[in-house]
Amino acid sequence: MADVTAWSHVRVVDIAPLLDGGNPQQVADDIRLACRECGFFYVTGHSVDRGLRQRLDVLSRQFFAQPLEAKMAIRMELGGPAWRGYFPVGQELTSGKPDLKEGLYFGAELSDDHPLVRAGAPLHGRNLFPEDMPELRAVVLAYIDAMTSLGHTLMEAVALSLGLERTYFAERYTTDPLTLFRIFNYPPDRSGNAPEPQWGVGEHTDYGLLTILQQDDAGGLEVKSQARWVAAPPIPDSFICNIGDMLDRMTGGLYRSTPHRVRNVARRDRLSFPFFFDPNVAARIQPIVLPDGEAIASDREARWDHVSVHDFSGTYGDYVLAKVAKVFPQLFRKV
């Protein structure tokens, strides 16, 4: 098993100046350093309501504590091409191996008469919520709204960090972003002294632009930094963010989408709440001509899958659906 340091090299970025009229360039400079170092950074000063975050945690634990039969009442098979609902432990795959986690998939709430829903567009539609937990719907949708707003703010800072206009990503990719929200519950790893631990989710990179993660205090997130695995423990009142494959591709590898993984080493369940702020599915992903552009060596040989995102050409929808087909192959075939 690879060595994991006991402390984090991940930078903490206070984004309050983006929200209160302060100096956004200082935030941009901090994000640039973080993205060049390891592709991850903690965010503080974000102003996302603490009560909303705490209520989301409480309701999520209530949902996962239910018997499997009750949770399966909103199973993903019922969500159709929208890819919404519940999946049990072992049903989601990473690099072909079952993850030790269960979860709920959500996204932007669209009515049945929305043009994309009527067209059967994948990843768009209504969410599935348990009938006996009406508050969960309100809290999840409020959280998605808050995180969407935070995503727009952070991408403005990312644009500034690259020497671009603040509105660069909004004008080209995220006027109507693809926003996907997950709630994951990781049971404890009970593999003991086995040669290979049970990974809650194995080594992978995220697909889109930016992931904004709220995690509970159990820990277990690990980030690959300079060929070593580094612990990224929770910091109270913070989110931890990481850049995805599309930003890696856009920047020619200047900002890398960093591999990461999760192993729940606590003796209790671990909750995490990843929010994915991604390009519109119809957006064609184009390289950015950077003011201080530089040639970046390929990372193909260093990656676990030996696949370079820089070989991809097409829309973000093309890319994400190809990835989803590998995560849920049986469900993908049905849909």
| pLDDT one-digit tens code per residue, 171-209 | 999 999 999 999 999 999 887 777 788 899 999 999 999
Per-residue confidence band for 22, with pLDDT thresholds at 50, 70 and 90: confident
CB distance 260 to 221 below 8 Å = yes
Is the CB of residue 199 less than 8 Å from the CB of residue 261? yes
The predicted structure's pLDDT at residue 307: 77
From 60, 82, 71, 67, select the one nearest 139 (Cα to Cα). 60
Q: CB under 8 Å, gap of 24 or more: what pairs does 60-64 form?
A: 60/104, 60/136, 60/183, 60/185, 60/271, 60/273, 61/269, 61/271, 62/133, 63/104, 63/130, 63/133, 63/136, 63/183, 64/102, 64/185, 64/269, 64/271
Q: For position 282, what pLDDT does the model report? A: 96
User: Among 10-19, 88-97, 164-173, 285-294, where is mean pLDDT lowest?
Assistant: 285-294
User: Residue 138 has what pLDDT?
Assistant: 98
> Residue 27's pLDDT is what?
97
Residue 191 confidence (pLDDT): 79
The predicted-structure confidence for 256-301, as pLDDT tens digits, reads as follows: 899 999 999 899 999 999 999 999 999 999 999 877 655 565 666 6
Separation of alpha carbons 194 and 132, rounded Å = 40
Distance CA 1, CA 34 (A): 26
When pLDDT is cut at 50, 70 and 90, the band that residue 137 belongs to is: very high
The full length of the chain comes to: 335
Q: Which pLDDT score is estimated for 225?
A: 82
pTM here is: 0.93
* Residues in CB range of 323: below 8 A, 6 or more apart: 207
pLDDT, average across residues 57-61: 98
Cα(210)–Cα(120) distance, rounded to whole angstroms? 26
Query: Domain spanning 4-334 has what CATH number?
Result: 2.60.120.330
Band of pLDDT at residue 84, cut at 50, 70 and 90 = very high
Whether the per-residue pLDDT at 217 is higher than 60: the answer is yes
CA-nearest of 214, 212, 184, 213 to 200 is: 184
Greater confidence (195 vs 247) lies with: 247
The domain locations on the chain are 4-334
Tokens of 334: 């049905």
Residue 242 has pLDDT above 60, yes or no: yes
Instruction: Work out the mean pLDDT of the chain and round it to a whole number.
Output: 91
Distance from C-alpha of 212 to C-alpha of 153, rounded to nearest angstrom: 12
Two tokens, residue 192: 């003991």
Which pLDDT score is estimated for 196? 80
Q: How confident is the model at residue 305 (pLDDT cuts 50, 70, 90)?
A: confident
* Alpha carbons 271 and 252: distance in angstroms, whole number: 34
Neighbours of 3 (CB within 10 A): 7
